[in-house]
Amino acid sequence: MSEAYSAALTLLMLSAVCAGAARGQEPPKDFVRLADLAPGIKQDIRYAGADNFMGRPVPGYVAPQCWLRREVAEALAAAQREAEQDGLGLIVYDCYRPQKATKAFIAWAQDSSDQAMKPIYYPNVDKTALFELGYIAKASAHSTGLAVDLGIVGLDFGTPFDLFDAASATDNPDIEAAARANRVKLFALMQRHGFSNLPQEWWHFALEGVKDAPPWDFDVKE
The residues that are catalytic are 201
User: Cα angle vertex 163, ends 157, 165, to 5°?
Assistant: 100
β 90-94/42-43 pair status: parallel
- Give me the DSSP letters along 30-47: TEEEHHHH-TTSEE--GG
- Give me the DSSP letters along the chain: --HHHHHHHHHHHHHHHHHHHHHHTSPPTTEEEHHHH-TTSEE--GGGSS-STTSSPPTTB-SS--EEEHHHHHHHHHHHHHHHHTT--EEEEE-S--HHHHHHHHHHHT-TT--TTHHHH-TTS-GGGTTTTTSS-SS-GGGGT-EEEEEETT---SS-TT--SGGGSTT-TTS-HHHHHHHHHHHHHHHHTTEEE-TT-TTEEEESS--S-------B--
